[in-house]
Amino acid sequence: LSERLGGVFDRLTKQGALSEDDVKTALREVRVALLEADVSLPVARDFVKKVQSQATGQAVTKSITPGQQVVKIVHDALIDVLRGEEEPGALKIDNPPAPILMVGLQGSGKTTTTAKLAKRLKDKQGKRVLMASLDTNRPAAMEQLAILGTQIGVDTLPIVKGESAVQIAKRAKQQATLGGYDVYMLDTAGRLHIDEVLMDEVQAVRDVATPRETLLVVDGLTGQDAVNVATEFDGKVGISGVVLTRMDGDGRGGAALSMRAVTGKPIRFVGLGEKMDALETFEPERVAGRILGMGDIVALVEKAQETLEAEQMERQMKRFKKGLFNMNDLRDQLEQMLKMGGMQSIMGMMPGMGKMQKAAAQAGFDDTMLRRQIALINSMTKQERARPELLQASRKKRIATGAGLEVSELNKLLKMHRQMADMMKKMGKKGMLKQAMKSMF
Ligand code: GDP
Ligand code: MG
């Protein structure tokens, strides 16, 4: 029996589904694209492997090639990886004064980003911000922050010669508390490469300030090194998020994927230029498109999917309005429901479906139920599907046995079909159908 059922589903999935070969071929291209975008090798390899198992067997949309379909699947998977659980731009800065620690390599854009972020917090959230430079090695760096502060109208901690980074951090905390600031930002010194001295200093500052947010600032043009930087800083200091700078450049921003995959920490902002307002909330869709560099194909597939859905809906509506609602139509509906997360959620979205929803809840609808009903319909002949009124006792028995279910289940299905057909007809007359269908898609 399960063999026969399995056969039914095989036939369903094989038709226009992605074969392992299709997927492998397309993913070879994708891998090259990721590496060209400077995604680190191990991250690219893992990602491709994951998508491979996900994509195989998925349906191919009409008028789209398997390769194009895979690109779209990859694109969506990229967005999934890039998108964190949290809102990207939302920082934990309650309980004033909230310390924000900025870390990263020298030249990554820490000082610039500190000022940009301070301006953003001031302008968009009305926060009072104090900035402090802990870059004791380079007096010019402290000056740089002070100048930016004046430019954007944000206070900076007065510079005292000869202090250590930890001493400055303590003073910043004190000043922020006394001065009634909402946030104080600590702009740390960077080295050209990760080294022990740098890490020790940053750790000491962290222990003094106990930051609410520790943001790792990374040059978006960083290539294979992105993984090392992220691993080191997260391991030694512990970061809460990432800011990618220089995303206004030519680079495709593969560092975003590397960072996210390695640390699992959210990417919060992207820097898009040297100006003080060139900082934006991270948008996974945009960055995914850029990393993959196959925007045309993604758009093409999306368009094809939309067109197909619109066509199907148009066709179905025409039939329903005429009072035509056979078992093929019902199967389409059931499959849609399965695809969209079950009966309950669908009917919850449709106006005027409250009664049906209640009935469905009582009948104990879930995905298993939907699959069984689809199996029952698949077990009917073409003729029976088109004209369910033909179903007499002997046919019913055959159909139920074919699906491995009881005749009583089939009777329930037939009853539901009649109710739905009635409802469709009524709604079609009242002109409610179009509205209901629209709200579903
Ligand atoms: P730090 O050493 O990490 O503090 O780096 P800085 O903040 O001093 O930045 C180094 C250089 O990068 C400066 O010239 C900045 O203007 C520039 N920079 C920072 N962020 C961006 C960005 O998002 N885009 C561009 N194009 N330049 C940036
Ligand atoms: Mg700096």
How far apart CA 180 and CA 174 sit, in angstroms, is 10
Task: Compute the average pLDDT of residues 410-435.
Answer: 78
How far apart CA 383 and CA 391 sit, in angstroms, is 10
Confidence at residue 419, expressed as pLDDT on a 0 to 100 scale: 86
For ligand 1, atom 15, the nearest C-alpha belongs to 274
Confidence at residue 11, expressed as pLDDT on a 0 to 100 scale: 38
What single-letter amino acid sits at 169?
Answer: A
Q: Look at 427 and 311; give whichever has higher pLDDT.
A: 311
Provide the CATH topology of domain 322-440. 434 Repressor (Amino-terminal Domain) (1.10.260)
Confidence at residue 188, expressed as pLDDT on a 0 to 100 scale: 94
For ligand 1, atom 13, the nearest C-alpha belongs to 109
Burial environment of residue 310 by CB neighbours within 10 A (0 to 12, 13 to 18, 19 or more): exposed
ipTM over 0.90: yes
Ligand closest to Cα of 115 equals 1
Pocket test for ligand 1, best of 274, 275, 279 (most atoms within 8 A of CB): 274
CATH architecture classification, 98-282: 3-Layer(aba) Sandwich (3.40)
Taking domain 2-85, whether its CATH number is 1.20.120.140 is answered by yes
Tell me the three-class secondary structure of the chain, residue by residue: CHHHHHHHHHHHHHCCECCHHHHHHHHHHHHHHHHHCCCCHHHHHHHHHHHHHHHCCCECCCCCCHHHHHHHHHHHHHHHHHCCCCCCCCCCCCCCCEEEEEECCCCCCHHHHHHHHHHHHHHHHCCCEEEEECCCCCHHHHHHHHHHHHHHCCEECCCCCCCCHHHHHHHHHHHHHHCCCCEEEEECCCCCCCCHHHHHHHHHHHHHHCCCEEEEEEECCCCCCHHHHHHHHHHHCCCCEEEEECCCCCCCCCHHHHHHHHHCCCEEEEECCCCCCCEEECCHHHHHHHHHCCHHHHHHHHHHHHHHHHHHHHHHHHHHHCCCCCHHHHHHHHHHHHHCCHHHHHHHHCCCCHHHHHHHHHHCCCHHHHHHHHHHHHCCCHHHHHCHHHCCHHHHHHHHHHHCCCHHHHHHHHHHHHHHHHHHHHHHHHCHHHHHHHHHC
CA of 271 to the centre of ligand 1 (A): 9
CA of 226 to the centre of ligand 2 (A): 19
CA of 111 to the centre of ligand 2 (A): 4
* Least confidently predicted of 23-32, 52-61, 127-136, 338-347: 338-347
CA atoms within 13 A on the CB side of 109: 28
Distant-in-sequence contacts of 308-313, Cβ < 8 A, 24+ apart: 308/61, 308/62, 308/63, 309/441, 313/437, 313/441
CA of 153 to the centre of ligand 2 (A): 19
Torsion 171-173-176-179 (CA) sign: negative
Following CA atoms 139, 142, 146, 147 in sequence, which dihedral angle do they give, to the nearest 10 degrees?
60
Q: Tell me: the pLDDT tens digits for 50-65?
A: 999 888 888 787 778 8
Q: Tell me: the pLDDT tens digits for 115-159?
A: 999 999 999 999 999 999 999 988 899 999 999 999 999 999 999
Find out whether 399 and 379 touch, Cβ atoms under 8 Å. Answer: yes
pLDDT level of residue 102 (50, 70, 90 thresholds): very high
* Percent of all residues in the chain with a pLDDT value above 90, rounded to a whole number: 47
Output Rg (C-alpha) for the chain, integer angstroms: 29
Burial environment of residue 65 by CB neighbours within 10 A (0 to 12, 13 to 18, 19 or more): middle
Looking from the CA of residue 108, the nearest atom of ligand 1 is 3
Confidence at residue 134, expressed as pLDDT on a 0 to 100 scale: 96
Looking from the CA of residue 144, the nearest atom of ligand 1 is 8
Find out whether 190 and 219 touch, Cβ atoms under 8 Å. Answer: no
Residue list for the binding site for GTP: 104-111, 187-191, 245-248
Whether 279 has a pLDDT exceeding 80, the answer reads yes
Q: What is the pTM of this model?
A: 0.72
CA distances from 67 to 56, 64, 74, 145 (A): 12, 8, 11, 50
CA of 134 to the centre of ligand 2 (A): 9
Ligand 1, CB within 6 Å, residue ranges: 104, 106-112, 190, 245-246, 248, 271-274, 278
The neighbouring-strand residues paired with 101 are 186, 214
Total Cβ atoms within 10 A of residue 335: 15
Q: Is the peptide bond before 97 cis (omega within 30 degrees of 0)?
A: yes
Confidence at residue 295, expressed as pLDDT on a 0 to 100 scale: 77
CA of 107 to the centre of ligand 2 (A): 7
Most distant pair of Cα atoms in the chain: their distance: 97
Domain boundaries, the chain: 2-85, 98-282, 322-440
Looking from the CA of residue 106, the nearest atom of ligand 1 is 2
Q: Look at 320 and 435; give whichever has higher pLDDT.
A: 320
Tokens of 99: 């310390």
Task: Compute the average pLDDT of residues 40-47.
Answer: 92
Looking from the CA of residue 270, the nearest atom of ligand 1 is 23
Tokens of 336: 């849609």
